[in-house]
Structure 1
Amino acid sequence: MISQVFILSSKGDHLIYKDFRGEATTDAINVFYQMVTALPGDQPPVVMTREGLHFIHIRQGGLYCVATTTTNASPFTIIEFLNRLAALIKDYCGSLSEKSVRMNFALIYEMLDEMLDYGYIQTTSTDILKNFIQTEAVSSKPFSLFDLSNVGLFGAETQQSRVTPSASASRPIMSSRGDQGGKNEIFVDVVERLTVVIGANGVLMKVDIQGEIKVKCYLPTCSEMRIGLNEEFSVGKSQQRGYGAAVRVDECNFHQAVRLDEFDSYRILKICPSQGEQTVMQYQLCDDLPSAPPFQLFPTVERDKSDRLLIYLKLRCDLPPKSAAINVSVTVPIPKGSLSMSQELSSPDQRAELQPSSKAVHWEISRFPGGAQLSALFKLEVPGLSAASLLEVGPVSMSFELPKHTCTGLQIRFLRLTPVQPNPSPRWVRYVTHSDSYTIRI
């Protein structure tokens, strides 16, 4: 099925190359990189073909993970295999990066030998592979209390992740032989991705929330783990549960290892976790937002007496007062003829710049407290400014992260392990919402 598997850096450096069937030459690596870099935009197609050889790839951690095939194989199967390969590298090496792959190339080759036999997938289970892989993982960076930047949400480096209480999320799951150093820990992460379109009148036109519950386990023995969700959690619009505020999703899917015998009555997920990372539940909520959108924008676009284009933006964060958004970025398309810009920002911790290549104004806010309101005034020099030029402004797009916050309101009530561990095992529960696409029309 799979002819070759290779991993490239973002610059095209060859990190891993494995040929299983001898159906293509090593020149396929250069062919793929030329194809993927020659395409316009940042989103090349996942499947590409050249002279009867199909290239299927994913990009994670700044790396290209690629599989080739000459047969009419299912692309979804190969994409799932590549995603599992990336997850396994993170499990065994601690992180997925160019440095960790270079330092653990022998381990990754051994992993590929066990996962594939003559191009046919054998297993992608962390627990099964542990019985066959003998090569020790090399940590790319030792943990330091003075530098927590390498600790992230299963590989995602964010400002909020810098205050995580443990280095376990970025350490290999296989400790050295005879060395069981480190703590027995479990991480449960609730991650949501938000897609919103807000009309010029401030009305929500589109809402979509994609969420998942991820578990990363470092316990050597654990027969069962019970994850309790909100008691008022409901699936679909017909169910109403509990006496608190309803937490509703339209649909949800579970990992095949999750047992649901207590889900209907008590909203409890039961699973026997394997070491490494697992997505135990995925859910979606469409066309509804339990609370106000995180941000509201009040724009004013006009021309002054000097024939300059004035763009005044007033941005309000509608999160609870104790919450905050981080890494907030606002992008405003402007007329193509814009030459220069002056700016007035409401606080010193902001910055803005004119990007001539994309013809847009980029406004960045590192931290935006809930309930706060910030503003920016941009004055643009646009030769031949006309009424039609004003129509070229917008729509505004935003990107941000909301640590310790979920837009659906989903929460983890408890996390219990059976049998009870002899020594208390730290259990870290974290929440984060990412903006997948947040567009405001003006």
Structure 2
Amino acid sequence: MSASAVFVLDLKGKVLICRNYKGDVDMSEIDHFFTLLMQQEEEGLVCPVMSHGNVHFLWIKHSNLYLVATTNKNSNASLVYAFLYKLVEVFTEYFKELEEESIQDNFVLCRMRVGPANVCVCLCACARVCVHACVCAGDKGKSVAMEDVKFHQCVRLSRFESDRTISFIPPDGESELMSYRINTHVKPLIWIESVIEKFSHSRVEIMVKAKGQFKKQSVANNVEIYVPVPSDADSPKFKTSTGHAKYVPEKNLVVWSIKSFPGGKEFLMRAHFSLPSVENHELEGRPPITVKFEIPYYTVSGIQVRYMKIIEKSGYQALPWVRYITQSGDYQLRTNS
């Protein structure tokens, strides 16, 4: 490729990922890009090619990101831009939406490096590699019985049957490699208790307590608790010990959002609503409370990847990376009166 290096920056000019292809341009030159861009925007003359000394910046903007290629040669600009737009296309295929958050969350395509740049990503997603991953069914010697195990068609089943090694050539894009079911009883990771109090046929107060029933060293992210309320409720008032609550009248719900929920912690939310008539609500029933969350670096089943080995014969550097995450799925709890 004509470019010496490629960078992905956020809207403040901070380097999120980068790849140095030729080594003939100092990587610190990218620090001048954002300054040049701000100067041109102030002057009202933004150019797709900018220069600092003998270093040229060819760039595009996508969502909340800048993709920038650097070169000190008289490079083929159309080829460089074709590469940048193709890079957006490839990343979008993998991440669904290419933005700052998706770059930070998808380290499976990245390799970490200590230095000025936070992450150095393998920017060529076209290489075909053979991956061997050994699955350890259980934590600290405890066995886990897996049922209804299903593999993607790329998996070589003979290896798994013989030594529990999953050997495969990854298909393009995102795919589900393996699914399974366990019958082990698992207590709810976020337990919900609710109390509904009715007063004088004119108002309802709802108290919801949420408790993290997982390891204290783990943290649930982006927790959302959906609490059903009567269809004619109005004049909402909320009080929360953490996070924030909002009323969604078109869905007859209160949504309690908690960005970070450590294991072992308890939090409270109180909601007060005015009602025309409490008696009518006995006919509506009591829909369940729904909870959504994700816990990174945590597995409920205890299934672990013991090691990962990548075999790549074309000279492309690929490094293994394993990331665990538990998501809530269909998670409902009954309300109490």
TM-score for the superposition, normalised by structure 1: 0.48
How many residue pairs end up in the alignment? 246
Please show how residues 190-201 of structure 1 align to structure 2 within 5 Å: none
| Among 138, 143, 149, the residue aligned to 2:85 | 138
- Structural mapping, 1:90-105, within 5 Å: none
Partner of 1:283 in structure 2?
179
Q: Does 1:418 align with 2:314?
A: no
1:154 aligns with 2:95: yes
Q: How far is 1:267 from its partner? A: 0.9
CA contact (8 A) 2:198 2:204 kept: yes
- Residue of structure 2 in register with 1:178 after alignment: none
Give the Cα separation in 2 of the matches to 1:157 and 1:416: 28
Displacement of 1:159 after TM fit? Answer: 10
- 8 Å Cα contact 1:309/1:379 also seen in 2: yes
Map 1:209-224 to 2 at 5 A: 218=125, 220=127, 222=129, 224=130
> Is it true that 1:319 corresponds to 2:214 in the alignment?
yes
Hey, what does 1:295 align to over in structure 2? 190
Aligned to 1:364: 257
The 2-side partners of 1:161 and 1:263 are apart by 31
Q: Which runs of 5+ in 1 are unaligned?
A: 1-97, 100-134, 143-149, 170-181, 186-216, 234-241
Matched, 1:261 2:208: no
Cα distance 1:258–1:291, how it changes in 2: closer, same or farther (>3 A)? Answer: same
Distance 2:325 2:228 in 1: 28
CA distance in 1, matches of 2:189, 2:323: 19
The 1:152–1:320 alpha-carbon spacing in structure 2 relative to 1, beyond 3 Å, is farther
Secondary structure of 1:357 counterpart = helix
Task: Give the structure 2 partner of residue 226 of structure 1.
Answer: 132
Paired residues of 2:291 and 2:332 also in contact (CA < 8 A): yes
Match of 1:107 in 2: none
Quick one: distance in 2 between partners of 1:381 and 1:159?
Answer: 42
Q: Would the aligned equivalents of 1:258 and 1:280 in 2 still touch at CA under 8 Å? A: no
Q: Indicate the RMSD between aligned Cα atoms, in angstroms.
A: 3.8
C-alpha deviations, 1:84-104, integer Å up to 9, x for none?
xxxxxxxxxxxxxx97xxxxx
The structure whose RCO (Cα within 8 Å, separation 6+) is larger is 2
Match of 1:340 among 229, 232, 235: 235
**Distance in 2 between the 1:438 and 1:303 partners?**
27
In 1, the alpha carbon distance for the partners of 2:276 and 2:159 equals 67
After superposition, the C-alpha distances for 1:166-223 in whole angstroms (9 at most, x for unaligned) are 5947xxxxxxxxxxxx7548xxxxxxxxxxxxxxxxxxxxxxxxxxxxxxx947364x
SS in 2 for 1:273: coil
Query: Residue 437 of structure 1: which of 314, 318, 330 is its match?
Result: 330
Larger gyration radius, structure 1 or structure 2: 2
Name the CA shift for 1:183/1:328 in 2 (closer, same or farther; >3 Å). closer
Distance 1:351 1:158 in 2: 25
In structure 2, the residue matched to 1:375 is 268
Match of 1:34 in 2: none
Give the direction of change, closer, same or farther, for the CA distance of 1:405–1:247 in structure 2 (3 Å limit): same
Would the alpha carbon gap of residues 378 and 289 (structure 1) be closer, same or farther in structure 2, given more than 3 Å must change? farther
- The equivalent residue for 1:246 is 143
Q: CA deviation at 1:422?
A: 7.0
Candidates 283, 288, 293, aligned match of 1:400: 293
What is the identity percentage for the equivalent residue pairs of Structure 1 and Structure 2?
23
Q: Is the 8 A contact 1:315 1:374 kept in 2?
A: yes
Contact 1:335 1:359 in 2 (8 A): yes
Q: Which structure 2 residue ranges, 5 or more long, are not aligned?
A: 1-61, 64-81, 111-119
Q: Is the 8 A contact 1:335 1:390 kept in 2?
A: no
**Cα shift at 1:402:** 2.0
> Closer, same or farther in 2 for the Cα pair 1:397/1:243, shift >3 Å?
closer
